[in-house]
Amino acid sequence: MKLIKFIKDTKGIYNAFFQKGSAIKYLPWKFEWQGMTEPERVEKGIFVHCHGHGEFDVFTKEDVILI
């Protein structure tokens, strides 16, 4: 299981708020996103976190770290 930890306060979709220092289970979007696969995105520091039903948040290395 992979977690993403927030390195700064971050606003997600629908005004969800993630507090600096908190961590959530990372559920990657299983499909290509903007022409990149999941391994390509992670390599670039882009994390597309899936909430289900086609909804997802995009976090970058400025927002989170993968732990």
Q: What is the pLDDT of residues 29-47, one digit of tens each?
A: 999 999 999 999 999 999 9
21 versus 30: the higher-pLDDT residue is 21
The yes-or-no verdict on residue 1 having pLDDT over 90 is no
The yes-or-no verdict on residue 64 having pLDDT over 90 is yes
* DSSP state letters, the chain: --EEEESS-EE-GGG-EE-TT-EEE--B--S-BTTB-HHHHHHTTEEEEEEETTEEEEEETTTEEE-
Domain positions in the chain: 3-66
pTM of the model: 0.92
